Chain A
């Protein structure tokens, strides 16, 4: 198998030594580690197809990977798997300013896509925290969100067409550059967010928007997390859709400040980063109304970014939140629960109480405008007792989330990290249908096996986190 792979791609594009493989045994997710059999770097869609056909012949599992910044263990290898790393397929193929589209290879960096669009006065809104290094292929496979989800939606909302290598090696294209298209099932939507389990995305056609003419960024501090949550609910109830409503609790503020040294207020309990963009008149109006709603809901202090550079600094600081929390303890276990926005205050309170009850340290931040929270447990994977309590807390938070009509993952995907709770959320009918799709497309279970759910129902997990670090 490895000889054939080398013949196919060239020696320099296949890695097999331990020193080469160890750095591919994990992604951006804590606690999951597994060595792959090899790492291969295809350069074209045809090469990807040939690799997949070879994998079929030799019954070798394939894990597709971009920059490896995933937060649910989606690209952690399974034993004996080949990693297909698409980082060299990173071209932005064309921008069509007349049709407002951009065509790119899967390894293109997210931030570069928006930068390329901006040279035409256009805008690619999805901006996941890792946008400076995350790849568009990974974003589509995980259906990534970002800081602007509230107004602009997520990656799915910008995918017009995909070229996909199917599990038998067939190259297929779904969708096109038309704004409207109802010819048959929307197959592209099946592959968006499929976490590399149904096919390998080798080209994307993205929708672009005109770049907003104006933007205003504000920072509000609060004496309690509930006050911040109530502000968010009130803004949305007031029929305002800002592009960003981001929330940081005190622990997170302190870590981010420790990293950025930009003078964030470290003595407040919660901080809201609010941003509105669009027509200058609308921006001015919305900003004013958001400010008064924040004050009505108990904001202690409200500041407005004076310049574009200052606004960018604030957003960048927010993007560093997850990694900055790692300053406190050796292991950071990140959650991605999402609830309908009216339940935000209740959820935030529940998280804090759960952590306190179980004597755990938690930092919570997230896309409050989307109801998407990232409670992050700061712990040490070598402390067995504490890890047990972390898993207990995760169970409790998931159960509470689902009781409020929420979801176990808003934007990180299920991968390995959220797999134990998928059945609890979906129920049998929904999960079995997903399994049938997988069975139909990938009967040999070779593409990213064991991610999202196990192919056979007998090995299903049943709402327990007991095997979260069993990898």
Chain B
């Protein structure tokens, strides 16, 4: 699909009223129309109608867009910006206008290799873990060997996630069933890529919370990437291939729900119907998949989760919640995480100012657009400080890593982890903390 072959009415849907402007972090920074949603759509429209060729400048603009989709929430006209944006990025890749040997190599290594081969990704993760744990990492940093890395990788190296001691398959059995429930829901749990490598405990916590709410949890030990990273970076065909593999692995008709716990993945995962609409074999199954795909908070709210009776901490704790863009704008899940946090005893939740404003993580944005990413991170950090919260809750590994890199001493948790801890405390203590 290209902007030219796209249904023109998707572009026409934008009536350029400007209601998106105040929601756009890049327009807010520069106050230039080309850096705004309606400006970008105007450029895409010009490409579609042959008034503008795909230029380096056009490619730069699409790279500058965070893809945070805040504009989709703001848009009264219902413009499908996600589709326009991904189509534009695919056009840019097809045009090869931004291709350099180095860029092509990085893209091949990550998009074509690592993120299509889950076993290879874990092997890579193990190597990284060894590097981090063996002391090689500090040695490399101290001795200046790190200077051998290209500048952009060197800058990024300190942000590399700490690899978990164990991956999801070592923490979660392929099949776990709840005890003492008469009515049982059958759910599949998606373990993700970064979540699996760096935050596998969140996957374990998700399984625990599902079990505590009467769900039979199916977690295949090896799962393909959902394809979100491919789709956002203009590799639509690879994204489709990953989607087909995931649908084959977890046939939607066999489950009551398919659960994602990472905002960025979920936003992509629930649009397989659109991604595979022209695939005669998978179109129908993809539509069925979308209906079953649920964010964990959304699912728990729908089944009316059991409020925990114990507090996770012995003292009342001040927490705040940061909305991941793709959970709040991509999936419109905003109230449910707050609702869940508010159900946990012993927590006081203070609303984070600009909670749904992008933190600058945005997939690989911190690599491709370090300056703008840093601006947004600084803004986020300032707001987090203003809350005096001791724990930041957020439901996306990208946001987690990004904010942690700026606030290494702040405790950052997934809301589901806190819920799991509360359930776990029920077994040991039945007392609520004193206010």
Q: Tell me the A residues contacting B by CB distance below 8 Å.
A: 15, 17-20, 22-28, 30, 41, 67-69, 87-88, 109, 130, 132-133, 255-256, 258-259, 320-324, 326-327, 330-332, 380
Contact = CB atoms under 8 A, between A and B. Distances in A.
A341 B38 CA distance: 36
Contacts of B18: 27-28, 67-69, 130, 133
A26 B42 contact: yes
Interface string B71-86: 0000111100000000
B19 A132 contact: yes
Nearest to A90: B31
A130 B12 contact: no
Contacts of A321: 76
B152 to A, nearest CB: 24
Given A109-B22, A255-B76, A323-B17, 9 more contacts: A22-B51, A23-B40, A27-B18, A130-B17, A256-B76, A324-B78, A326-B15, A326-B76, A331-B15
A88 B31 contact: yes
B43 A23 contact: yes
Contact of B21 (A67, A259, A332): A67
B55 interface: yes
13 contacts: A18-B55, A26-B16, A67-B18, A68-B18, A130-B18, A132-B22, A133-B19, A320-B19, A322-B17, A324-B77, A326-B76, A326-B77, A330-B13
A162 B185 CA distance: 67
Nearest to A20: B34
B9 interface: yes
Which of A27, A321, A326, A331 has the most CB atoms of chain B within a 10 A radius of its CB? Answer: A326
Interface in B14-40: 15-19, 21-22, 31-34, 36, 38-40
B61 interface: yes
Nearest to B33: A23
B76 A23 contact: no
Contacts of A25: 42
A25 B9 CA distance: 20
B156 interface: no
Contacts of A23: 32-34, 36, 38-40, 42-43
A28 B17 contact: yes
B17 A327 contact: no
Contact of B9 (A26, A67, A330, A332): A330
A189 to B, nearest CB: 27
Contacts of A15: 32
Contacts of A22: 34, 39, 42-43, 46, 51-52
Contacts of B12: 330-331, 380
B32 A30 contact: no
A69 B19 CA distance: 8
Contacts of A331: 12, 15
Which of A133, A256, A258, A331 has the most CB atoms of chain B within a 10 A radius of its CB? Answer: A133
Contacts of B51: 22
Contacts of B272: none
B330 to A, nearest CB: 16
Given A22-B52, A26-B16, A133-B19, A259 B61 contact: no
Contacts of B36: 23
B430 interface: no
Q: Which 9 A-B pairs have the closest CB atoms?
A: A23-B39, A323-B76, A23-B33, A330-B12, A326-B77, A320-B76, A324-B76, A69-B18, A19-B57
A20 B32 contact: yes
Given A259-B76, A327-B77, A330-B9, A19 B43 contact: yes
A24 B76 contact: no
Contacts of A17: 57
Contacts of B61: 19
Contacts of B17: 28, 69, 130, 322-323, 326
